[in-house]
Structure 1
Amino acid sequence: MGFDTALARLNGLGAAALALLPGLLLGLLAFGLFVLLARGLRAGVVRAARARGVAPGVGIVLGRIGSGFCLLLGGLVAAAIAFPSINAADLFSVLGIGGVAIGFAFRDILQNALAGILILLTRPFRIGDQVVAGGYEGTVEDIQVRATTIRTYDNRRAVIPNTALFTDKVLVNTAFEKRRLSVRVGVGNGDDIREAKRVIEAAARGAEGVLADPPPRALVAGLGDSAVLLDVFFWIDPPKRSEVLEVTDRVLARVKPALSGAGIDIPYPTMQVLLHDQTEAIDGDRARQREGWPARGGDRDPPPRWRVREGEEDRPSHPNGAAGRAS
């Protein structure tokens, strides 16, 4: 009896599976069609964005979003075809509950996705721009739904969440066609500042890559310990990192010999050290002690605290009356 019952159940399961098989095949076929439709939708969105002059990143991300919604719809349709007993209301109710659960579980991912869409729409920077963000500096390679990838100048990849880029400060070095650079140069305190400015500006103006308009300018930035500090400002185009390094190298390579040829000194840092005799009789008397200054010489110098004569120590009294102590 038990064997017959088990066999009957197996036959029933097999018949049910055979009954569901056409629906499953139709559901898989429908989902495959939606997959093809999603790919076509993504390619169409990218082409439409390109035709309208929209940034390539915007078309790519919008195509991904449209493709995702198309696949979601295809899954619902395939489930309705494969399992006819499930109606649309049940699917949407399950989808609503699942959406709330997914929203709580993947809150950060959804925030990054929304930030990525806003970045693509507002376009504070684009793919190919050179930016400084999150402690990283490099070229924007891709703006994805979740994060933005940056290739640093030392050929490393930085993946920064879109929320951080949208809410934090981002410096775009290539936002405009021209970029101003500056280098600091020190000249001697005894040199003519006007002549030094003229020589520096002429040397910078002749460097390859420096724009003639606006012209280079040299302005006094401060008086250093051993030099007069001048800031040299000049403009370049394009404003990329490679141009920054190369043009700065050319400017400094021309300024240095130009200053030397004009007889203008580029001084080294100097330091003056003052010493004094630490065995003077006035040591310890703060009112009379000459901190940092050498002995004046002659009869005006206080006598040393200890005098050694033929191995015998002469110990004068301290100025405040206390007897000295042998060292």
Structure 2
Amino acid sequence: MTQQNSSFEPIAILTNQLSEMGRGVIAMLPNIAIAVVLLGITWAVARFASQISEKITKGADMRQSLRELIELAVKFSIWAVGLLISGTVLLPNLTLSSIIAGLGVGTVAIGFAFKDVFENFMAGILFMLREKMRIGDYIGCDGIEGRVEQISLRETHLRKTSNELAVVPNSVLFKNPIEILTDKDKRRFELIIGVSYDTDLARASDIISKAVEGSDAIDQEKPIDVFATEFNSSSVDFRVRWWSGSEKRDEHVSRDAMIRTIKSALDREGIEIPYPYQTHTFKEPMKLASND
């Protein structure tokens, strides 16, 4: 008889525990109902606040991604407050200090685990707050060039001239210098032109200047510069500078026009653009082999 009673003891203990849990759940039903109602109110308030935020930001002169960030921040703030209130109703022993302490420890652990993610996230927020580098700008950074198609909280999409899409983490753009090539309507370009050493440099400079000034591929209102810059191995080099449109195609078109125009002008005047060559000097006279 004693053995039979001992075999039923675990079942009795489990039954008592389930009964106590059931009574606890029943006792918490009012709190659960209130917490659910609070969550419903939080959802409604967050939706209404998001609509109000959208109407306010739509009239402001800001990029779309920044408007989405503001709406997300409004929703997050309302939901954080709503969840905090619902949690204290559902668990009365839960205090604000314990929540803050738990969040502190959890934040440190999550921060180390998702360091790169948070770094890109913060960089994305800073990019959205900047006035520079807008959608449609052509930029270059860390060897990557392309037109900005999208700026999100984690990454930036650049469309290359070859139509490839480069997805660049925001932290890369934030840590490295960015060249915004289309920040202004006009940019200055330059080209190195070499002439032979027996050339009259003043005459060559005048010919190059007139050739550049007569081209339709450049901005005639901006200054044109022709400077003799270097004694090279087989030529004296001129640096030619002009202004044209800031788009990447404008650079290619104007550079092509300058090379063609300057080459034609120098050829007409008989001025040589020399090939690179080397002069070898020997200490002893060289003996040529005889054909005999």
Tell me the TM-score normalized by structure 1.
Answer: 0.68
Q: Which has the larger radius of gyration?
A: 1
Partner of 1:68: 76
Deviation at 1:157, TM superposition (A): 1.4
1:156 aligns with 2:148: no
Whether the 8 Å CA contact 1:31–1:77 is kept in 2: the answer is: no
Partner of 2:286: 294
Deviation at 1:20, TM superposition (A): 4.7
SS of the aligned residue for 1:232 comes to strand
Q: Identify unmatched segments of 5+ residues in structure 2.
A: 1-7
Deviation at 1:126, TM superposition (A): 3.1
Letter matched to residue 139 of structure 2: V
1:256 aligns with 2:263: yes
Whether the 8 Å CA contact 1:42–1:60 is kept in 2: the answer is: no
Whether the 8 Å CA contact 2:136–2:148 is kept in 1: the answer is: yes
Partner of 2:274: 267
Whether the 8 Å CA contact 1:46–1:56 is kept in 2: the answer is: no
Partner of 2:133: 125
**Taking structure 1 as reference, are residues 50 and 251 closer, same or farther at Cα in structure 2, changes over 3 Å only?**
farther
Partner of 2:3: none
1:145 aligns with 2:153: yes
Deviation at 1:218, TM superposition (A): 1.9
Deviation at 1:233, TM superposition (A): 0.6
1:98 aligns with 2:106: yes
Aligned counterparts, 1:198-277, within 5 A:
198-237=206-245, 239-273=246-280
Letter matched to residue 117 of structure 1: I
Whether the 8 Å CA contact 2:120–2:169 is kept in 1: the answer is: no
| Larger deviation, residues 168-177 vs 8-17 | 8-17
Letter matched to residue 249 of structure 1: D
Give the distance between the partners of 2:271 and 2:69, measured in 1 at CA: 58
Deviation at 1:44, TM superposition (A): 4.8
Letter matched to residue 159 of structure 1: V
SS of the aligned residue for 1:229 comes to strand
Deviation at 1:263, TM superposition (A): 2.8
Letter matched to residue 186 of structure 1: G
Deviation at 1:210, TM superposition (A): 1.2
Letter matched to residue 271 of structure 2: I
Deviation at 1:54, TM superposition (A): 3.2
Deviation at 1:63, TM superposition (A): 3.2
Aligned-residue RMSD, C-alpha: 3.6
Whether the 8 Å CA contact 1:112–1:145 is kept in 2: the answer is: yes
Deviation at 1:179, TM superposition (A): 1.0
Deviation at 1:211, TM superposition (A): 0.6
Q: How many residues align?
A: 280
Whether the 8 Å CA contact 1:49–1:59 is kept in 2: the answer is: yes
Q: Identify unmatched segments of 5+ residues in structure 1.
A: 276-289, 298-327
1 or 2, which has the higher helix percentage? Answer: 2
Letter matched to residue 77 of structure 1: I
SS of the aligned residue for 1:169 comes to coil
Tell me the TM-score normalized by structure 2.
Answer: 0.74
Task: After superposition, give the CA deviation of every residue in 1:188-230 in whole Å (9 maximum; x if it has no partner).
Answer: 3333333333333333334444111213222212222222211
Deviation at 1:84, TM superposition (A): 5.0
Letter matched to residue 94 of structure 1: G
Whether the 8 Å CA contact 2:158–2:167 is kept in 1: the answer is: yes
Deviation at 1:268, TM superposition (A): 2.0
Give the distance between the partners of 1:110 and 1:121, measured in 2 at CA: 17
| Larger deviation, residues 30-39 vs 57-66 | 30-39
Give the distance between the partners of 1:40 and 1:261, measured in 2 at CA: 75
SS of the aligned residue for 1:265 comes to coil
Aligned counterparts, 1:274-285, within 5 A:
none
**Taking structure 1 as reference, are residues 230 and 135 closer, same or farther at Cα in structure 2, changes over 3 Å only?**
same
SS of the aligned residue for 1:71 comes to helix
| Larger deviation, residues 86-95 vs 173-182 | 86-95
Whether the 8 Å CA contact 1:136–1:158 is kept in 2: the answer is: no
**Taking structure 1 as reference, are residues 202 and 14 closer, same or farther at Cα in structure 2, changes over 3 Å only?**
farther
